[in-house]
Structure 1
């Protein structure tokens, strides 16, 4: 407490007089000190709150769409300039015009549509089966420390193992059939989805589980109704990575396993271009594969991931 100071001045009569003007003002007691504490706490929480994401206008959407197109245009320009200046053999590096002409011919005779449809059917079917297999496995591992300690390292090892390594074994086991392709796709996608789900569950705060226990939720009700919804961002990230692995695995299987009862997909088109030394066909197939990957990301996983993050307040301003 600050010491009170008094100033003594002499009076005309000789007796000391205290100057009350020099005294500090007496503080007025706060009738409700808890109100200030609440207001300060609210202000602190407001300061910690992330900035709301403003709605994206059409101009921002157009600018965002033009940036990748500009990058593609720059790559095509550099590619064409290299062909004009260096003049490589057409069977080594054809120009953009030759590749686009080959792509136009493949679309005109219907071959491109057929191989795209075959690969998409295999890719989405294999990915759906992988999700149905990986999700229960992931939920089982997060519920049992023993199972996670036993099989967790194996799942991680399978994730880093190139799925193309399974192609020879799959051909021996299943022959040249669609089962070979689906097996390779599953071995590429399942470990990624399992690890993504486990990572998402690990990031769920323990308070959610404690609240569920207090409300009387059973073990599996707690997992399915509380933990899994809270782990959706990590789970979706695992699905996104699982799709990428399954798409790459599918292309590897279609390139190596050809003939027999197998249908002719994009990987088969790549292999056909290699056998015929037709680099234009090879590059046209690569462009189709790349375009499908970009479209799936822009139309499926990108919007889904942004929606989840926005609903949880994790999407900061300036991102979309």
Structure 2
């Protein structure tokens, strides 16, 4: 009887412990009230924009420099309104965004298998690892002259610059993520028959997702910066009017409101892509790992 009681007690304690561990692993999910969303997500950036505009207006009123160097915010708004009335605003933005997204998707298709090879094949890592790190530190604008000579002032040159800027970041991000995968996961996957392509799909990539996602964010940043550098330097009417070429045209015309508007639009697109695509993905990945319950 004593042995039976002891066994029951042990079983009960194990059940309580298991339930406690399950409770710890469970991430509470609740619907965030609109008031909290406005307070935490909307109000801070809106306040920052208002502060920047106020400081800008004060500097203009204080005449810290000539008007043609620092125009009034209303002049920039007028330039934006003219683009809107002319029906060219969205065309300019879409010309650059479509190039950037297509180039990023191509870089994703190349950088992902390349990162897997570098991470899992020692010879490839020894041969290409330092090259990828060097390419990642090389400014993308350095590739523009070479791409123009190789491919001419064409869309192909734009995409080549994007690929050379984004592929190393995506590959290195995946390599970093795979390096942090516990070896136990790989052994468990092999035990279950997940080897080769199946192991990469069902074990390596899901386990390395946080590092991989960081590489994707950096890859998009490199894609966008590379494209803007290419459009600024290799501008041509045959390429269509994108944000980089709009910025260069404004500089040529000494149109400072247009220059500032171009900078603001480039910044706006970069922030919008991050907020609409990468930030939700990052929150979802972290939340599934119990790391972002309070975000």
TM-score (norm 1): 0.84
- CA–CA distance in 1 between the matches of 2:145 and 2:226? 13
2:75 to 98, 101, 107: 98
Unaligned runs of 5+ in 1: 1-28
RMSD of equivalent CA atoms: 2.1
**1:301 aligned to which of 259, 275, 278:** 278
Number of the residue aligned with 1:7? none
Whole-Å separation in 1 of the counterparts to 2:123 and 2:24: 39
Q: Is the 8 A contact 1:194 1:238 kept in 2?
A: yes
After superposition, residues 249-288 of structure 1 pair within 5 angstroms as 249-259=226-236, 261-288=238-265
Q: 1:53 to 1:263 in 2, by over 3 A?
A: same
- Secondary structure of 1:198's match? helix
In structure 1, how many angstroms separate the alpha carbons of the residues matched to 2:96 and 2:121? 37
Instruction: Indicate the residue corresponding to 1:8 in structure 2.
Output: none
Change (3 A) 1:216 1:46: closer
Aligned residues: 290
Pairing of 1:1-320 with structure 2 (within 5 A): 31-32=6-7, 34-35=10-11, 38=14, 42=18, 45=21, 49=25, 52=28, 54-63=30-39, 64-86=41-63, 88-259=65-236, 261-317=238-294, 319=295
Q: Is the 8 A contact 2:27 2:287 kept in 1?
A: no
> After TM superposition, where is structure 1 displaced by more than 4 Å over at least 4 residues in a row?
39-51
Give 1:47 deviation, angstroms: 9.1
Q: Does the CA-based 8 Å contact 1:255-1:270 persist in structure 2?
A: yes
Offset of residue 171 of structure 1:
1.0
Q: For the pair shown, which has the larger CA radius of gyration, 1 or 2?
A: 1
Q: Contact between 2:60 and 2:67, CA under 8 Å: does it hold in 1?
A: no
Calculate the TM-score normalised by the size of structure 2: 0.91
Distance (Å, rounded) in 2 between the aligned partners of 1:295 and 1:271:
22
Matches of 2:134 and 2:250, distance apart in 1: 34
Structure 1 residues 51 and 287: CA distance shift in structure 2, 3 A:
same
> Which is worse superposed, 259-268 or 138-147?
259-268
